[in-house]
Amino acid sequence: MQAIEEQFRQAILAASAAGKPLQLRGGGSKDWYGQQLLGEVLDTRAYAGIIDYEPTELVITARCGTPLAQIEAALAARNQMLAFEPPHFGAGATIGGVVASGLSGPRRASSGALRDFVLGAVLMDGQGERLAFGGQVMKNVAGYDVSRLLAGSLGTLGLILEVSLKVLPLPLREATLRLACTEIAALRLLNEWAGKPLPMSASCWHDDVLSVRLSGADAAVAEALHTLGGDVVAPAEAALFWAALREHTYAFFSGAGSVWRLSLPPQASAVILKGRQLIEWGGAQRWLKLDGDADAAGAQRVRQTVAAAGGHATLFRGGDKAVGVFHPLAPAVEQIHQRLRLSFDPAAIFNRHRMY
């Protein structure tokens, strides 16, 4: 692996010297996410393998090119999981791309986001230096937690060589309920249930149907089933449903048009926008499907409406990326972003223009 790492270093040094952008890329399963792709591809897939996995310590460390499927298989063999339930969005997904994209699946509202599980990382910066941050335990950080800062950075701070992640045991039992209700009623129920000791691990409202997944000890799940009511979904059907929701193979996400990801306070009321909506994470994540492409006026309307409700909007799929994929940053936050990036990548070679 040292030879591969040296190849990475030489490619980075050459790009920095020439001022040419590099496109950091694993399996390419999330090439569509973010702004434009620029520069020569630096393929990370050869730098692969699980470095360390200690089930009793609930920690796994792997190189960036390691397939996500390989990591999930290793964990499942020991009845463990990545609790943030990361989407693959393609067979080639790698753990480096998982961390760089920062995306979490249906379990995020109950277990936490991807960045909450990043314990440490090794980064190669724009000067070819190998930098280590964090470690393999939860309490090991003084000052800025740079390893978690890499989550969602889309490779703009450097090449993630290795990452250590906290893992959790698989739940002893899972069950899914479905209830017929309107959007307003679903939001009210989700906020009401959030204040109760219920083992909810996922929720989804769409087309006047609220689906809720319960995960945990057998007694806790059985009690919740009795308390919440509704129709119990067959286990096989439920597993397919939550997998389709995570991977966006669910019918809502298919077809032409643009898909917006709306991040809102869970207690926010229904957001009135033209288009179809799907609600996850107890109301904190809401998807908006518009039939046409997002033009500048449409994007502004979406973002103003969501901002007024205390949230922000991302153009997730489709549409015209010229309107900006990510919600515009406040001037002070934008300056922090720029300074951070320049400190790690002075020549701005890594995934240039991928975020803003």
Q: Would you state the pLDDT for residue 296?
A: 80
Determine which of 233-237, 255-259, 346-350 has the lowest per-residue pLDDT on average: 255-259
Four-way CATH pick for 2-169: 3.10.20.30, 3.40.50.2300, 3.30.465.10, 3.40.50.1820: 3.30.465.10
DSSP 26-67: SS-TTTTSSS---SEEEE-TTS--EEEEEGGGTEEEEETTSB
- pLDDT greater than 80 at residue 102: yes
pLDDT digits (tens, 9 = 90+) for 37-72: 999 999 999 999 999 999 999 999 999 999 999 999
Beta strands 276-280 and 285-290 are: antiparallel
Q: What is the pLDDT of residue 135?
A: 67
pLDDT in the model for residue 256: 87
Residue 124 has a CB neighbour count (10 Å cut-off) of 21
**Residue 311: which residues within 8 A CB-CB, separation 6 or more?**
262, 263, 264, 265, 268
Question: Class of 173-247 per CATH?
Answer: alpha beta
Q: What is the pTM of this model?
A: 0.92
Structural contact between residues 5 and 44, judged by C-beta atoms closer than 8 angstroms: no
pLDDT tens digits for range 129-147: 999 988 654 444 444 578 8
